[in-house]
Amino acid sequence: MNQRRRLIGRRSFLFSLGSLATMSAVAMSKAAYQNQQIQALDNPNRNFIITEGFSLKERAAKKGLIYGAATRQIDLLSNASYAAAIVHNCSVLVPEWEFKWAAGNTTLRPSADRFDFSAPDWMANFAATHNQLLRGHTLVWHDSLPTWFRKTVNSHNAARLLENHIQTVVKRYAGKIHSWDVVNEAIKPEDGRYDGLRITPWLKMLGKNYIDLAFHLTAAADPDALLVYNDFGLDYDTPEQEAKRTAVLKLLEDLRDKGTPIHALGIQAHLSPGENKFNPSKLRKFLQDVASMGLKIMITEMDVADKRLPTDLKVRDRTIAGVYEDYLSTALDEQAVIAVITWGLSDRYTYVSESQPRSDRAPVRPLPLDAQMQRKLAWNAIARAFDNAPNRK
């Protein structure tokens, strides 16, 4: 019996050794694949030469496009050169925090029956003062909800609360908003639902029709705003992102078929070179499928995370610029794409610092301007994409 036990013990030890070896081989091959990908992404001979003399908003406007950035009141107030760069480059602004229920140092909704419009009003005034369009982001999302929300909102009062929020906020800025991200990030196939919907408090309390309801309420409150469904993870050639693209298309088709007043898809485009394979034809096909429904498309939150790129600044900036130009030259080929918005303008104020920090703790460099408001190759890459884009005029 002991001999038998020893034999089984030996076998299970060898088996676990074998599976350990297999797992480390897979991990090695994934890391090796990513390193190989990263090297392939950088081309030392690639130049990002541009004709000087025009800002990003001017280059976009020449082709009937709009360019802008997400920005925050706190940063515009504290840094005059940053505010000047925002005015110089952006024809549209997206308040990064101020139109959310609660985000950063702003709380539009201090309680279930109160609104604090001081921050969004300030942002709307800044945009108007500088002749900039204004994007509203976002009315219905599972994130950036105030602490009272989960304790207060339930399936009995959720519809009234949603209606009151949308009517109050959208009516206040009616006529001042270029486009609203009415619903944000409602698709998550990993949640396992037949329709790919993300299981959020809104879905649990109101059912899947909360999306249609939100669009109808917004359209009634501001008939002139472009109404957008906004989401991320739609960019790369992976099974997960293919599943997400399929689920988003299904959602858009369902909304169109039931007559929901939706006008555009927002593609966040938070890009991460070295993590996934970019396949231009896959993205192009997705954009064509969306456009064929009669919808416009906005690139709404673009940035390029450099967490997987080498420390060397020249290599990092050149690689990031290549990612911007490759993605935008593909996206802007689709005439239904009307806007490009980066999620920030300067590396000094970027979401990527919190969402995808580098393991070497070096400051990240995901945006067109560096932390001192100087142009980087990413700026040139976006400029070239606009300069070479088909004219929409």
Q: Which residues bind ligand XIL (CB under 6 A)?
A: 96, 103-104, 144, 184, 232, 268, 301, 351
Least Å distance, CB 131 to ligand XIL, is 25
Indicate the residue whose CB is closest to ligand XIL.
Answer: 351
Residue 14: both structure tokens together: 């060898």
Q: Which is nearer to ligand XIL, 173 or 351 (CB)?
A: 351
Note whether 112 and 148 are within 8 A (CB): yes
SS3 content of the chain, % helix, strand, coil (to 5): 45, 15, 40
Copy the structure tokens of residue 206: 């109101």
Q: How far is residue 374 from each of residues 46, 94, 275, 369, 388, measured CA to CA in Å?
A: 21, 21, 28, 5, 23
Residue whose token pair is 């940035």: 303
Residue nearer to ligand XIL on the CB measure, 222 or 301: 301
Residue 334 dihedral angles phi and psi, to the nearest 5° = -85, 115
The nearer residue to ligand XIL, 101 or 351, going by C-beta atoms, is 351
11 burial type by CB count under 10 A (0-12 exposed, 13-18 middle, 19+ buried): exposed
Least Å from the CB of residue 307 to ligand XIL: 16
Smallest gap from Cβ 350 to ligand XIL, in A, equals: 8
Q: Report the alpha-carbon angle 167-170-173, nearest 5.
A: 140
Three-state SS letters, 249-300: HHHHHHHHHCCCCCCEEEECCEECCCCCCCCHHHHHHHHHHHHCCCCEEEEE
Closer CB to ligand XIL, residue 248 or residue 389?
248
Q: Is 52 a catalytic residue?
A: no
301 or 306, CB closer to ligand XIL? 301
CB nearer to ligand XIL: give 134 or 377: 134
Distances in Å between the alpha carbon of 312 and those of 251, 306, 316, 363? 42, 11, 6, 12
Q: Any catalytic annotation for residue 98?
A: no
Q: What's the closest the beta carbon of residue 44 comes to ligand XIL, in angstroms?
A: 32
Of 96, 98, 301, 325, which residue is the catalytic one?
A: 301
Nearer to ligand XIL, 103 or 108 (CB): 103
Q: CB 135 → ligand XIL: shortest distance, Å?
A: 11
**Pick from 345, 338, 382, 281: which is nearest to 59 by CA?**
382
Catalytic residue among 52, 58, 98, 185: 185
Using DSSP's 3-state secondary structure scheme, residue 244 falls into helix
CB of 149 to ligand XIL, least distance (A): 15
The structure tokens listed for 268 are 């966040």
Query: In whole angstroms, what is the distance from residue 287 CA to residue 281 CA?
Result: 10
Least distance CB 186 / ligand XIL (angstroms): 11
Let me know how long the chain is: 393
Catalytic residue positions?
185, 301
